[in-house]
Structures are given as C-alpha cells and as structure tokens.
Amino acid sequence: MNLIDLMGSSVTVKVLNGKKLSQIVQNQLKEQIAFSSGKAGRPPGLGVILVGDNEASKAYVASKEKSAAKIGMRTFDYKLPSDASFSDVAGVIQEFNNNSGVDGILLQLPLPPHLDAAALLELINPLKDADGLHPYNQGLLMKGQALLKPCTPLGCMLLLDLAYSEASLETQDFDLSAVKRSDLSGKHAIVIGRSILVGKPIAMMLLERNATVTMAHSKSPDIKALTRQADIVVAAVGRPGLVRKDWIKNGAVVIDVGINRLPSGKIGGDVAYDEVISECSAITPVPGGVGPMTIAMLLSNTYQSFNSKIGI
Ligand code: NAD
C-alpha cells in the first residue's frame, strides 16, 4: 500500500507489485511440482524454441529457463540459427508434440522475418500451448472455454484480482488463496490496444468476469473521454506515458502492460505513473508490475497441462 498525501488528505493506493506476486505464484508452483512429480514419476517439462540472435529474446528465454529450473520444471532447449527454415522449426515443434515429457511448448517471438509465426504457432499441439496463442485456444477463449490462455493477459487478471482483494502482499502471512477470482459485474473496463497477444484476450477475460468492456485502439477518437468513465483501465499500447492523470476517473484500477525504452535508457509504461497514482485506487508499476507476471503464468500454464495429463 502507498499513502499519497493530497492537499492534506491521505488516499490509500494499492501498488500492485507484480514482482512479488510472480514470486509467490512460482513458490506455490514449486511446492505443487515437488508433490506431483513424485506421483507422476517425472517433473513437468517445458520445451523452448529460440530462433536467431535477438538479444532481448535470448535474455527472455534464459530467464524463463532459469525460473523453470528453480521450481523443479525440466526444460528442453532448442536454439536454431537465424537462417533456420520453416521446416526446421516445424520439425522441432513436431518433436516436442511427440515427446511425452514435454507438457508446454514455448516458441519465442518475434521470429526472423522470413518465418511465418502464425503458421508455426498453429503446429503446436493445443494441449501443450503454454503461451495460449494457438488459434484453437484463442477461439475457445471467445467461448470462455480456453484450455490454456495467453500469459500476459492471465497475469493482468491476477493483478486485477489482487486489486479488488482484501489481501495485501505486504502482510507477513499473505496467502495466494485469499486472492479470489473477482466478479466484475457493474464495472466498466476499457482496454487500450487490440493486439491478438494482449488487448483482445484481456478484453475477452474481462467479459468472462462480467465487466462491461470498451476497446480502444489507434483509430479511436478521444480515448480520454472513454477512460474517464472507466473503473478499470488496461493500457497495452507501447506509447510511453500515453495515459495521463486527467484520463482517469477517481478510484479507478490501472493496469499498465506497456514496456517502452525511454530516452533515458530506463523502462517505462504506457501510463504516466507519477501523476496517475494520485487519482487511482490501484496501479501496476513499470517495471515490476505486469512484466514479471508473464513468466509466472507461462510456468503455471505448463504445470496445468502436466497436471491434466497425469490426472493428479
Ligand atoms: P502491438 O503493437 O501489437 O499493439 C499495439 C496496439 O496499440 C494496437 O492495437 C494499436 O491499435 C494500439 N495503439 C497504437 N497507438 C495507439 C494510440 N496512440 N492510441 C491508442 N491505441 C494505440 O503491441 P502489443 O504486443 O499488444 O504490446 C503492447 C505493449 O505491451 C508494448 O509496449 C509491449 O512491449 C507490451 N507488452 C508487455 C508484455 C509484458 O509482459 N508486460 C507482454 C507483451 C507486450
């Protein structure tokens, strides 16, 4: 919690610490894996495919593999050169699909431009679709029945649940089970950004929770007039500081998905955090908000497909 003093009156703002929440989710997964690996006779397995030399992708993959190892998850690792052909990558996906020790498959994006990412994602067995990006799962998400859901949107929803929960991450005895799935009936949510990776799936998940959802994007006029009516604002745009204080209704919950490299070299979100924090009831910082949740949800998805396979 943060106490912000506004002209003498104190307002309590929940700063949604994704770094801490991600660690708590991973600690819980570690305990669950220790138990279920013994029963299954093997740990859950994550197959990771990295194509090319994109420095950010290499760093993401290394961090995902390290986190998987820490919670007792096995990783199967394929690093392909940047000139790998479609059939080279398809062959690895097929191998992972056929490997009964692999429960989740991660095809690290972006791929080199000569490779059709959408066509390759379609080759992943939907039951092993750890990133929740297979069109089958995306279609089921529309019906509220996805087997596996995209990781960043899942992370946003857990942070939103934390925002509406009585539980505080800052208490010694914080228990993840105290963070209940929130019913957003009567709440107006706006999602800015309509990508297939973030904006659209978040909108679907908010609808599943009964929120009234508005979607805004680069062609929407006067987004400020829309956000000013919203109880929940999710910004997934990639424009630093787009969402200003006067865009926010007092007491709104603000989820900032944006990751932008600022001229200073620092990372910043799509929300002007320093000014918006005095207007909202809860907010995710950047860095340390949505970003760290994505990896926890990838591991959680992989554990979920392992679990449904071994039936524990
Ligand atoms: P994208 O480029 O695919 O989509 C951006 C969306 O923003 C588009 O739908 C576009 O219509 C909309 N948009 C662009 N300019 C706009 C404007 N001025 N006003 C309103 N809408 C506008 O990006 P993406 O993959 O959805 O990612 C969005 C942001 O989230 C990026 O900063 C990205 O780095 C970040 N991101 C973070 C995580 C994470 O783990 N935290 C994961 C994925 C993406």
pLDDT (tens digit, 9 = 90+) per residue, 148-186?
999 999 999 999 999 999 989 989 889 999 999 999 999
The answer on pLDDT for 215 being more than 70 is yes
Closest residue to atom 8 of ligand 1, CA basis: 193
How many angstroms does the Cα of residue 248 sit away from the middle of ligand 1?
A: 19
Q: Given 26, 32, 108, 304, which residue is catalytic?
A: 108
CATH level 3 topology of 150-291: Rossmann fold (3.40.50)
Tell me, what's the pLDDT at 309?
A: 85
The answer on pLDDT for 12 being more than 90 is no
How many angstroms does the Cα of residue 82 sit away from the middle of ligand 1?
A: 25
Q: Could you tell me where in the chain the CATH 3.40.50.10860 domains are found? A: 41-124
Q: Given 103, 129, 131, 270, which residue is catalytic?
A: 131
Closest residue to atom 6 of ligand 1, CA basis: 193
Tell me, what's the pLDDT at 1?
A: 56
How many angstroms does the Cα of residue 33 sit away from the middle of ligand 1?
A: 34
**Nearest atom, ligand 1, residue 237 CA:** 7
Q: Is 173 a catalytic residue?
A: no
CATH hierarchy code of domain 41-124: 3.40.50.10860
Percent of the residues in the chain that have a pLDDT greater than 90, as a whole number: 92
How many angstroms does the Cα of residue 235 sit away from the middle of ligand 1?
A: 8
Tell me, what's the pLDDT at 11?
A: 61
Closest residue to atom 15 of ligand 1, CA basis: 218
For 253-296, the pLDDT digits (tens) are 999 999 999 999 999 999 999 999 999 999 999 999 999 999 99
Tell me, what's the pLDDT at 312?
A: 59
- Separation CA 293–CA 255 (nearest Å): 12
Q: Which residue ranges have their beta carbon within 6 Å of ligand 1?
A: 152, 192-195, 197-199, 216-218, 223, 236-239, 257-260, 290-291, 294
Mean pLDDT of 203-212: 98
The answer on pLDDT for 224 being more than 70 is yes
For 21-79, the pLDDT digits (tens) are 999 999 999 999 999 999 899 999 999 999 999 999 999 999 999 999 999 999 999 99
Identity of the amino acid at 230: A
The answer on pLDDT for 86 being more than 80 is yes
pLDDT band at 310 (very low <50, low <70, confident <90, very high): confident
Q: Is 64 a catalytic residue?
A: yes
> pTM (2 decimals)?
0.95
The answer on pLDDT for 129 being more than 60 is yes
Residue of 156, 237, 297, 298 to test ligand 1 pocket, by largest number of atoms within 8 Å of CB: 237
Q: Could you tell me where in the chain the CATH 3.40.50.720 domains are found? A: 150-291
Mean pLDDT over the full length of the chain: 95
Q: Is 14 a catalytic residue?
A: no
Q: What distances in angstroms separate CA 37 from CA 134, 271, 275, 276, 311, one per listed residue?
A: 27, 41, 47, 45, 12
